[in-house]
Amino acid sequence: MMITRVSGGKLYHEMELLRESLVEKYEETRNFRDKDVYNLSEEMDSYIIQYMRDIKR
């Protein structure tokens, strides 16, 4: 996924869609674990925060 200049709300929405699709993929393969999704969620949230800091510069 390529990220271009977008508003924070749109970026967050895109990340939420990505998170949902990954959860669905985990559930389909029956390798779903809450810990994995929590770790992914933390990683994505930190990425969003860093991205927002970068575009403010």
Task: Say if residue 56's pLDDT is above 60.
Answer: yes
Is 27 a member of any domain? yes
Per the structure, how many domains does the chain have?
1
Whether the per-residue pLDDT at 19 is higher than 60: the answer is yes
pLDDT value, residue 35: 63
Is residue 34 situated within a structural domain? yes
**14 within a domain of the structure (yes/no):** yes
Q: In 23-38, which positions are buried (b, 16+ CB within 10 angstroms) versus exposed (e)?
A: eeebeeeeeeeeeeee
Nearest 5°: CA angle at 20, between 29 and 39? 80
Contact 48, 15 (CB under 8 A): yes
- Nearest one of 19, 3, 20 to 11, comparing CA atoms: 3
pLDDT higher than 70, residue 29? no
Q: Is the full-model pTM beyond 0.75? A: no
Range of the domain at 52: 8-56
Instruction: Tell me, yes or no, whether 3 lies in a domain.
Output: no
**Residue 1 maps to a domain:** no
Q: Name the residue with higher pLDDT: 37 or 3.
A: 37
On whether residue 2 sits in a domain, the answer given is no
Helix (H/G/I), strand (E/B), else coil: 48: helix
